[in-house]
Amino acid sequence: MRELVVIGNGMVGHRLVQALCDRDSTGAWHVTVLGEEARPAYDRVALSSYVDGVSAEDLTLPGLAVDLHLGDPAVAIDRDARRVTTEGGRVLPYDALVLATGSVPFVPPVPGRDLPGCFVYRTLDDLDAIKAAAADAVARPGPGRRSAVVVGGGLLGLEAARALRSLGLSPQVVEIAPRLMPVQVDEGGGALLRRLVESPSGSHAGLAVRCGVSVEGIVRDRDRLVATLSDGVELDADVVVFSAGIRPADALARAAGLVTGERGGVFVDDRCRTSDEHVWAIGEVAALQGRTYGLVAPGYAMAEVVADRLLGGRATMTPAELDMSTRLKMLGVDVASFGDAQATTPGALEVVVNDPVAGTYAKLVISDDARTLLGGVLVGDASRYAALRPLVGSPLPADPVALIAPGGVELGADALPDSAQICSCNAVTKGAIGQAIADGADTVPALKACTRAGTSCGSCVPLLKKLLIDSGVQVSTALCEHFGQSRAELFEIVAGTGIRTFSELVSRFGRGRGCDICKPAVASILASQGAGHVHDGEQAALQDTNDHFLANLQRNGTYSVVPRLAGGEVTPEGLIVIGEVARDFGLYTKITGGQRIDMFGARVEQLPAIWRRLVDAGFESGHAYGKSLRTVKSCVGTTWCRYGVQDSVGLAVALELRYRGLRAPHKLKSGVSGCARECAEARSKDFGIIATEEGWNLYVGGNGGFTPRHAELLASDLDTETLVRYLDRYLMFYVRTADRLQRTAPWIESLEGGLDHLRAVVVEDSLGIGADLEAAMEAHVGSYADEWRGVLEDEEKLSRFVSFVNAPDTPDPLVRTREERGQPVPVALGMPGVGA
């Protein structure tokens, strides 16, 4: 038996050993692995999930039948004697040696970079140290706390910023290049990415970004750090994280006299063999024909080549064969690049579709004859990545503009040749997946198990589903990995069993502890079933940020206050109260497109006091924060308008009060117009009503947002009683059967038969469930209670409304405003003088 020593126990080293063990049926090699860290190999791609609560055990890669020495790195290589010496004094002989030492973080030579509070972002131990420092910072009261500086705006830099925000800090990103992610995206994509991450995204306030500047020095100012930038701006911070790139960990190889690349890394040929025929190098430490690669997919490809070679194969690889494609979500923004994303190929043409309104940027790089796809960049919407990336190097299947334009050509899996690489991380082709399906793999998990496709970054999973569907396999509608049921099925389970907690539901019908997909979805289901106040018991822990504080988080970390004005109607006394509240608490006020008055700029600890005054004046929550009914907009109808034919205001008020607080898969909006002139814009709403001489026309499935759509006529000339009955059925049918976060327009499209089927269910009661749907809605109406009144009457619920747990009356010092047009508006973090 021959001796193989692998120096490095990261993802690439683990992949090499796994591939070798799978193929070495004769037991030709005895494998010893040396790991620098004291823990087994883990998924470093998912490192940031450790901050979100994923355990180190969850990230650990499968164990292998090898001699594994952890916390005992190699310190010397004797190439003549073919021996490796470890820090602990072990001397290990080898017949073949593989260097998989990876990389080390690059820390710019900034004075003060070694001060306490400065960290790198590379390992679980690094994250443990950052978490501890962040916890100390958040716990300390006083001005200027809870901030961080991230040096580097690339992949890891933005990941670090997201992690720091999750830990309760307000990070500012400093990137020396003129744009974020300069390696992966071009100038146009980088500009949009910056705008999107600086704007509010999901439950996060905007991120402060500084491009084109560097950190020139860091000093300690009492218990804080101050970073001075090249433009003279000073940023104060509790934590500074360096994530400015990586360098190959080639010191051991250099000391052993191996040839290294011009820019570092161990020089390897197309077999991944170094200048010593007995020594190989893979992953980030390897300079394949002089170039290093910082992604896991090229490292995996190298590992497969070396495993083949060690067993007598003839596998080779060249830089052109390495896939540098990436797809990830950065601070809630989809980003993807593939192939020649920067258009470096001579004569390459660039086709760009930039939609700043929708917040999307798409670019395809094609050959000079416009026939071959060379690469691309996607920002804001990367849904086409899975279909486009495998086409790199292949003839274009359609006009390039149509491939990336909204409403353009949708590529099916049948457009891909069998040689197309579906999973670049594991080099799995369409042909291999097709063979696996033919051999009986009929689910995505089964395909993952037998091909490894989708087991690394996961970006190819949507295409795996398409391939299954195209093969005639019915794909699972599971809500997430913790529930095998769809949202609609879980709704029926909750309704049928009377379950009122997430923990009981997941223990009886799911597995694990849940995630950020299933928890809010189940919270919505429980709320729609009358499971009590959203802050009761464990329900409070299921809510996202907005529902957690019954208010919408804004870009500067403050919240909006939106009292309900049913139908847009408000008394003079009510207006006076709203004005006095806005004045006394220094809030920005605005009349919205939904005919409500929003007040912006409230700090967390101010929300109860604000709402106490509003509730005492007769107002209730406007549900601007929930996946529920927002508004029923109206014109003035017959009350005032000489063209009106019905009382649109009265109906709008009645409908908004009837359906207020109705939790749904997505937010709902409505409008009532008093005549065909349509001043309430009812046909752009999820359900809209337009008056006729005979009664009301009911329209459904209208949506604004990224994909605007007009509502379609469901029924005409209805009396008010019939209209309400149909609306009860329509809304409750939607609540029961739609997927998570599915708006009414795509929900109707997804129904077999579309609008005709919906009309049969709602109007004709074809399923015989009309009475049940109506009863469910009556139960909701009868059980409705104002959520803010419920908070004000419960001291335990009130206790959550603080900026600092250990200093409840201390305002967040990072919330600052300036005056614009006579009103307070936020000062963005990162502006000169802010955070300094």
675 labeled binding residue:
yes
Decide: 207 and 331 in contact? Cβ < 8 Å. Answer: yes
Per-position DSSP letters for 161-199, written without gaps between them: HHHHHHTT-EEEEEESSSSSSTTTS-HHHHHHHHHHHHS
Cα gap 313→448, rounded to integer Å: 25
Cα gap 719→119, rounded to integer Å: 68
Decide: 292 and 308 in contact? Cβ < 8 Å. Answer: no
- Report DSSP state, residue 394: S
Per-position DSSP letters for 116-156, written without gaps between them: TTEEE-SSHHHHHHHHHHHHHHHH--STT-SEEEEE--SHH
Decide: 383 and 403 in contact? Cβ < 8 Å. Answer: no
Q: What are phi and psi of 318, to 5 degrees?
A: -125, 160
Q: Which of 132, 154, 318, 136 is nearest to 223 (CA)?
A: 136
Cα gap 587→601, rounded to integer Å: 5
635 labeled binding residue:
yes
Q: What are phi and psi of 628, to 5 degrees?
A: -155, -175
Cα gap 286→292, rounded to integer Å: 6
Cα gap 236→224, rounded to integer Å: 7
For residue 188 the two structure tokens come to 């146009």
- Amino acid in position 562: V
The residue written with tokens 């337009």 in the block is: 690
Over 537-559, what HEC string results? CCHHHHCCHHHHHCCEECCCCCE
641 labeled binding residue:
yes
The residue written with tokens 């004291």 in the block is: 38
Decide: 255 and 164 in contact? Cβ < 8 Å. Answer: no
339 Cα distance to chain centroid:
23
Cα gap 299→424, rounded to integer Å: 11
* Strands 373-379 and 333-339, sheet pairing: antiparallel
Helices (H) and strands (E) in the chain, counts: 27, 38
Q: What are phi and psi of 226, to 5 degrees?
A: -125, 120
Cα gap 568→643, rounded to integer Å: 19
Q: Which of 176, 134, 182 is nearest to 155 (CA)?
A: 182
Decide: 748 and 705 in contact? Cβ < 8 Å. Answer: no
H or E element that contains 693:
none
460 labeled binding residue:
no
Angle between the 430-438 and 444-451 helix axes, to the nearest 10 degrees?
A: 110
How is the beta sheet containing 552-553 ordered, strand by strand?
A: 552-553, 559-561, 597-602, 588-591
Cα gap 306→823, rounded to integer Å: 66
Cα gap 528→387, rounded to integer Å: 37
Cα gap 636→647, rounded to integer Å: 8
* Strands 279-281 and 96-99, sheet pairing: parallel
Cα gap 208→557, rounded to integer Å: 12
Decide: 95 and 3 in contact? Cβ < 8 Å. Answer: yes
Cα gap 506→483, rounded to integer Å: 7
Q: Which of 94, 24, 98 is nearest to 64 (CA)?
A: 24
What dihedral do alpha carbons 476, 477, 479, 480 form, nearest 10°? 20
Known binding site for [4Fe-4S] cluster: residues?
635, 641, 675, 679
Residues in binding site: 635, 641, 675, 679
Binding-site entries for siroheme: 679
